[in-house]
Amino acid sequence: MLFLKLGGSLITDKTRDNTPRMEVLQRLAHEIRTFLDDRHPEPLLIGHGSGSFGHAAAKKYGTRTGVHSADDWRGFAEVSVVAARLNRIVADALFDAGVPVVSVLPSASTGCADGRIVRFDLRLIETALAHHLTPLVMGDVALDSIRGGTIVSTEEVFAYLADHMPVSRILLAGETAGVYRSMDQPDILPVITPTTWQEVQHGIGASRGADVTGGMAGKVRDMLALASAHPGMPIRIFSGLIEGSLTRALNNESIGTLLHSDEK
* Interacting residues of 105 by C-beta distance below 8 A, sequence separation 6+: 84, 87, 137, 138, 140
* pLDDT band with cut points at 50, 70 and 90 for residue 105: very high
Pick from 153-162, 199-208, 218-227, 252-261: least confident: 199-208
* pLDDT above 90 (res 7): yes
Global pTM value: 0.92
Distance CA 157, CA 185 (A): 32
| Long-range Cβ pairs for the range 190-198 (8 Å, 24+) | 190/257, 190/258, 191/257, 191/258, 191/259, 191/260, 192/220, 192/224, 192/257, 192/258, 192/259, 193/224, 193/259, 193/260, 193/261, 193/262, 194/224, 194/227, 194/228, 194/261, 194/262, 195/262, 197/221, 197/224
Render pLDDT for 75-99 as a digit per residue (tens, 0 to 9).
999 999 999 999 999 999 999 999 9
What superfamily would CATH give domain 2-259?
Answer: Acetylglutamate kinase-like (3.40.1160.10)
Domain boundaries, the chain: 2-259
Distance CA 51, CA 153 (A): 11
